[in-house]
């Protein structure tokens, strides 16, 4: 088992294996390096470029992205296996069946605008 997968399982048990695999195999996945590297990796990237990683919040993951104005934002999100939805909260809860819909909702852009940072 890979190190990033075992770290993810240890800290984020609520996520089922298929959803976990979707994240850890995603080209934007940075795992535990996310926190220390996000600003460096997103520097000079186009709007709606993003990175995924482990969140400091239990049972959640993190995303950082370049906003339309060029500033870097970040947030946490999770997966609810009972409703089979991805979720985040920004004052009020938001749920989406598809991961890309969650990101486009968070970033306030279309799915076509999403650009994973490799």
Q: What does the pLDDT look like over 53-71, one tens digit per residue?
A: 988 887 789 999 999 999 9
pLDDT, greater one: 4 or 77? 77
Structure confidence at residue 55 (pLDDT)? 86
Smallest CA-to-CA distance from 4 within 15, 19, 23, 16 is with 23
The predicted-structure confidence for 11-20, as pLDDT tens digits, reads as follows 444 455 777 7
* Pair type for strands 61-66 and 49-54: antiparallel
Number of Cα atoms under 13 Å in the Cβ half of residue 39:
3
How many CB atoms neighbour CB 94 within 10 A? 16
- State the average pLDDT over residues 93-118: 94
**What's the mean pLDDT in 78-89?**
91
pTM confidence score: 0.81
Domains and CATH numbers, the chain: 3-116 (3.30.505.10)
Q: Is the pLDDT of residue 1 over 60?
A: no
68-82: average pLDDT: 92
């Amino acid at each position: 088992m890979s190190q990033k997968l075992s770290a993810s399982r240890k800290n984020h048990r609520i996520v089922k294996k298929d959803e976990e695999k979707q994240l850890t195999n995603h080209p934007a996945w940075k795992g535990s390096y996310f926190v220390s590297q996000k600003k460096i990796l997103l520097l000079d990237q186009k709007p709606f470029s993003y990175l995924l990683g482990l969140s400091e919040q239990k049972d959640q993951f993190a995303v950082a992205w370049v906003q339309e104005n060029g500033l870097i934002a970040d947030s946490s999100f999770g997966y609810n296996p009972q409703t089979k939805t991805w979720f985040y909260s920004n004052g009020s809860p938001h749920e989406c069946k598809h991961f890309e819909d969650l990101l486009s909702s968070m970033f306030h852009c279309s799915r076509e605008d999403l650009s994973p940072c490799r």
